[in-house]
Structure 1
């Protein structure tokens, strides 16, 4: 695996609302850029709140061969075969190797239930929902919803409007328990200290240990992507709202949201890439 240049780009991408359409989950409009990446053997690393059960089939559909990051950075899965050996701290998990960064799912569920009770909040996590409930909230099929429920490191939940709580107050409540709150396109998420940026660092370090001069590119559309966007060398924001310039200095606004915007952003980046051959630590794209 190598890129014919002085630097080795690694693309880290959120899924829903970024590489995948927010409503249909389709990714076909991003295929031209994905094909360019596959041809040049540039890794596209999926980074999502989705589970391994959801992401593994998608990895095959998209023709991706490298690592992928699950449940908002709680786990990183590395290929079991290939030229690069998985990190020594990763453990065998079927045909893959799993690097655990998050806390146990049972702890998250317990914390959510106890917080709801203590603060009189109507919070419903996936563990409290039936598969039918998950289908209705997400638009997923039965099989997809079953995969979404197989969680290890992150608990999505909804907060009933009848018991409102400010985001920062809720974040503080969970932080006092050693946990973090992230806000995605559809759900709140409670998880451990590890986030998408933590997982990005692990994957980038893995490539660097294998001799690659890594340049990281990140794409996302919501608050729970900000840590990852802020950590990457280049960041593209595909959200519909204003560019989060204060939270992510130097972030680039994509021309449009979803897979169409993803496609344009990556094709433009790849066009500029030959001019970056001598750059070691780029801060922004000219």
Structure 2
């Protein structure tokens, strides 16, 4: 019998694999265990920092897998990926914006650890790890939509991209989750990729994967219909967060004929 394709799963975290309110992935544990039993890598792909991702990998049993951090700006656990921080440069260019634009964006670098904890629901220790940034700056936008358009335009003139993620507006020098997914899938020699996400900053990754999955998140506006969705290239879950993640992964594995005992070495 022919083995199924060599699969790699790329997953957003907040609102996708992690519950929006509790940060728990317990409802996705059955599918995670099924992937692990078949040797299928799960690449955490998030706006979170390396310090945050490593702890989650330890808790989920994914320490032997690479991960994509800070919205695709960095990759950890993959040889040859230099960790050249651009955070100081990003902050410097942000502070050079006119005050009528800059004043409406409060980044993690502008907040105390206690304020980050308040806005994220994280513990103080976890909030400190969220501030340990190398490539990007998440924050809260308080201005109008028109002013946001001006803010984005001024940033773009400096090579900075602003993307809405699960909770925050995140600034970076432009490498996306899709860009990083291509690097990691090539390193893993994957012949089929699955990407799961719930937010605008996941769209490029969802469209670049062989199979994209929009995970329902009732806490944020629904993503608009995406290119490839009508053809089934991208699907949507009915259940939210890790419940939807679990349902989607199990259905995909069934469809790819990952029967009991099949492995990921085809």
TM-score (norm 2): 0.87
Query: What is the correspondence of 1:204-215 to structure 2 with a 5 Å cutoff?
Result: 204-208=185-189, 213-215=190-192
Give, in whole Å, the separation in 2 of the partners of 1:164 and 1:74. Answer: 26
Q: CA RMSD in A?
A: 2.1
- Distance change >3 Å, CA 232–CA 168, structure 1 → 2: farther
TM-superposed deviation, 1:116: 5.1
- Distance change >3 Å, CA 261–CA 67, structure 1 → 2: same
Structure 2 residue corresponding to 1:138, chosen from 120, 126, 131 = 120
TM-superposed deviation, 1:157: 1.2
Give, in whole Å, the separation in 2 of the partners of 1:232 and 1:173. Answer: 31
Give, in whole Å, the separation in 1 of the partners of 2:101 and 2:148. Answer: 14
Please name the residue that 1:281 is paired with: none
**Pair 1:245 & 2:245 matched:** no
Please name the residue that 1:266 is paired with: 249
Give, in whole Å, the separation in 1 of the partners of 2:223 and 2:116. Answer: 30
Please name the residue that 2:81 is paired with: 90
**Pair 1:223 & 2:221 matched:** no
Query: What is the correspondence of 1:107-126 to structure 2 with a 5 Å cutoff?
Result: 107-115=89-97, 117=99, 119=101, 121-126=103-108
Aligned length: 251
Give, in whole Å, the separation in 2 of the partners of 1:76 and 1:182. Answer: 19
**Pair 1:156 & 2:154 matched:** no
Deviation track 1:93-120 (CA, whole Å, cap 9, x = no partner) reads xxxxx5x5xx600111122222252636
Give, in whole Å, the separation in 2 of the partners of 1:153 and 1:14. Answer: 17
TM-superposed deviation, 1:168: 4.2
TM-superposed deviation, 1:175: 1.4
Give, in whole Å, the separation in 2 of the partners of 1:37 and 1:166. Answer: 45
Give, in whole Å, the separation in 1 of the partners of 2:198 and 2:228. Answer: 12
Stretches of 4+ moved more than 6 A in 1?
none
Give, in whole Å, the separation in 1 of the partners of 2:222 and 2:97. Answer: 32
Which consecutive residues of structure 2, in runs of 5 or more, have no partner in the other structure?
none
Contact 1:73–1:198 at 8 Å: present in 2 too? yes
TM-superposed deviation, 1:254: 0.8
Give, in whole Å, the separation in 1 of the partners of 2:98 and 2:36. Answer: 45
Please name the residue that 1:47 is paired with: 45
Contact 1:226–1:248 at 8 Å: present in 2 too? no
Contact 1:204–1:216 at 8 Å: present in 2 too? yes
Q: Bigger relative contact order, structure 1 or 2, given CA contacts below 8 A and separation 6+?
A: 2
Please name the residue that 2:169 is paired with: 188
Structure 2 residue corresponding to 1:15, chosen from 13, 16, 28 = 13
TM-score (norm 1): 0.82
Q: In structure 1, the residue corresponding to 2:181 is in which secondary structure?
A: helix
